[in-house]
Amino acid sequence: MYEDFYGFVQSPFSLTPDPRFLYRSESHDVALQQVWQAIRRKEGFIVLTGDIGTGKTTISRTLLEQFDETTFTALVLNPFLSVEELLREVLLSFGVVSKDALKNGRLASASKHELVRTLHDFLLSLVPLHGSAVLIIDEAQHLSADVLEEIRVLSNLETNDQKLLQVVIVGQLNLIEMLHKPDLRQLDQRISIRCYLKPLTREEVEAYVTHRLWVARGSTPVTFTPRAFDLVHSISGGIPRMINLICDRALMAACESQTARINEDNVVKAAAQLGHEVPKSQIKGERPSPPVAVAEAHAEAHAEAPSRRPLVIAAVGAVAAMVIAATIWWVGNPASLMSSGPAPKAPERPARAFPAAAEALPAPADMPAAALIPPPVAESFSIVVGTYDNARQEQQAEEALRRQNLTPYTIDILVAPDDLRRRLLLGRFATRDEAEAARAKLGPLADNARVIIGWSERFRAPVPY
């Protein structure tokens, strides 16, 4: 297995929706922020859509991990449910009832009205505790019209001043068409936020692959050539699930060749194993055949060329004779110049100085995964503790912060095509004074730490206040 060959702690391109591997592209980052803000504002109904394999389920799992203990969450993964089955699943996920109670207790044969009343009572009990409830339904494009209508009714559960339940429905692109149907107009009008996950660009594909390799913590540095990244983007269309499949097979092919540098041949083999044919025009060294019309015109031009060739040759010869005669008249016999001594030695080019290659130390096997990024806060400030290309240095700095009972978070920054660095931050602070006070308490780490404007934390050069 290539995981053993490269020393990965876990498979870097697994298809499981692990939040630790989430790469926050531009559209993924915007979606997370919009959904999070809508939930915090208790706006009621939120829709997240994207093409197959764009990472919708991973976004859902990431959201679940960001809630604190005052937020009760329910994740429904099976959309093929009746109204009563959905209500029972929601009550079970919220922890209101147990599986035994649903099978043998009073709710085993309860009507829809009784199930809704039980849910409503539970939601009302959260109000004095300042708690909240969030329901996330995945694969929502498969929900029936009756279930979608019941979800609309559930989103109406509220007090005089707030919604009791925030509902996030996640689905493929045809979910939007479903919600536009006349019989679901009331539901469509209640949607406060609509988020859409886009495929990754070429640059984002490179950052995505590099990010997952970082999280997997291989002891052997694995790199992809620029041409390999081009092919991965072209074949996958920027869909994360397809990228994972292609890169997984490419690593298998590279492992067989005992190399840690993934080239285009490895990607072509990976695509063939997955049943994707790579056009020859996309493979290095290949050129597309010229169109038939262009080829015929080229042949006709060559066919006419011989008839004009004698005239062209004569004209060129006459011009050359005139040039030679003029040269002899001005400088004498050119042959005499050839015997005037040895030719001067061509100056030697100075040796090109290459910068020393910087190789990061292998990441320890027990290296912790990157901390989740806290939700953004408008006009906030953060502290950049450091930006590292060495896993061990980053780990030492992070451990030093945690010994002070501080909770840092990290962001992976692609500084150059083959240079991914991890930025260690603290935040978010409401004012500059709070951020500066926190920075002053960092001890030795305070020397290099600096306060930045929160929204610039992903910039290569963050904006200082």
184 and 44 fall within a common domain: yes
233 and 152 fall within a common domain: no
What's the CA gap between 222 and 10, in Å, rounded? 14
What pLDDT band is residue 374 in, cutting at 50, 70 and 90?
Answer: low
Answer yes or no: is 372 within a domain.
Answer: no
Give the CATH number of the domain where residue 65 resides.
3.40.50.300
Q: Could you report the per-residue pLDDT of 284-297, keeping only the tens digit for each?
A: 644 344 444 434 44
Helix axes 145-155, 112-126, angle to 10 degrees: 30
Number of folded domains in the chain? 3
What pLDDT band is residue 107 in, cutting at 50, 70 and 90?
Answer: confident
Q: In what order do the strands lie in the sheet with 166-171?
A: 71-76, 132-137, 166-171, 45-50, 193-197
Contact 95, 131 (CB under 8 A): no
Contact 209, 232 (CB under 8 A): yes
What pLDDT band is residue 240 in, cutting at 50, 70 and 90?
Answer: very high
What pLDDT band is residue 370 in, cutting at 50, 70 and 90?
Answer: very low
8 and 51 fall within a common domain: no
What's the CA gap between 436 and 414, in Å, rounded? 27
Answer yes or no: is 291 within a domain.
Answer: no
251 and 139 fall within a common domain: no
Statement: residue 325 has pLDDT above 80: no
Among 282, 301, 320, give the residue marking a domain's end: 282
Give the CATH number of the domain where residue 407 resides.
3.30.70.1070
Among 282, 316, 338, give the residue marking a domain's end: 282
What's the CA gap between 435 and 427, in Å, rounded? 8
Q: Could you report the per-residue pLDDT of 5-27, keeping only the tens digit for each?
A: 999 988 999 999 999 899 989 89
54 and 193 fall within a common domain: yes
Return all residues near 443 (Cβ < 8 A) that are at least 6 apart: 400, 404
38 and 180 fall within a common domain: yes
209 and 269 fall within a common domain: yes
> Looking at this protein, which amino acid is placed at residue 77?
L
275 and 395 fall within a common domain: no
Q: Give the range of the structural domain holding residue 268, as residue numbers without chain letter.
A: 2-13+200-282
Answer yes or no: is 47 within a domain.
Answer: yes
Among 155, 179, 197, give the residue marking a domain's end: 197
Report the Cα 169 to chain-centroid distance in Å: 21
Distances (CA, A) of 271 to 5, 83, 112, 137: 22, 43, 50, 33
What's the CA gap between 82 and 79, in Å, rounded? 9
166 and 126 fall within a common domain: yes
Q: Could you report the per-residue pLDDT of 14-70, keeping only the tens digit for each?
A: 999 999 899 989 899 999 989 988 888 888 789 999 999 999 999 999 988 888 888
Return all residues near 132 (Cβ < 8 A) that are at least 6 apart: 39, 42, 70, 71, 72, 126, 166
> How much is the pTM?
0.62
Query: β-pairing, 71-76 with 223-224?
Result: unpaired
The tokens describing 132, both together, are 């909240």
